Amino acid sequence: MTYDKDNIFARIVRGEIPCHKVYEDADTLAFMDIMPQAEGHTLVVPKAAGEDIFTTPPESLAAAVHTTQRVARAIKKAFSPPGIMVAQLNGPAAGQSVFHLHFHVIPRYTCKDLGIHAADPADPAALAAHAARIRAAL
């Protein structure tokens, strides 16, 4: 597969599509998933092009992991979940639907199921509020 420079995450990184930004540095961007599986579900992407873990440059992958850890800590502080799930999918058979490397950082709660992946868009005001809580915890 050839990297599609017009995939939605590449367009978000370039600022062509708005997002509820949580964190940004020179190499990565973290923003709210618009179809979250739980309140606080955040995505972390490297700014460099790469479809998956196999095609992303190692230095970009390392930067994304560093940001994922930072964002996970902020989500834990902001939402106080007893657990945090980090997911990174590679290929359609694994459930990847956007072919730009990304990490899902999802708060997990005992006895509370996750919502269905990419099923229902969240209220934009709720996403903005969640992003603000996470930014405040960074």
Residues with a known catalytic role: 102
Alpha carbon distance 7, 131 (integer Å): 23
Q: Which residue reads 């899902």 in tokens?
A: 104
128: closest CA among 40, 2, 10?
40
Cα–Cα distance measured from residue 82 to residue 77, given in angstroms and rounded to the nearest whole number: 11
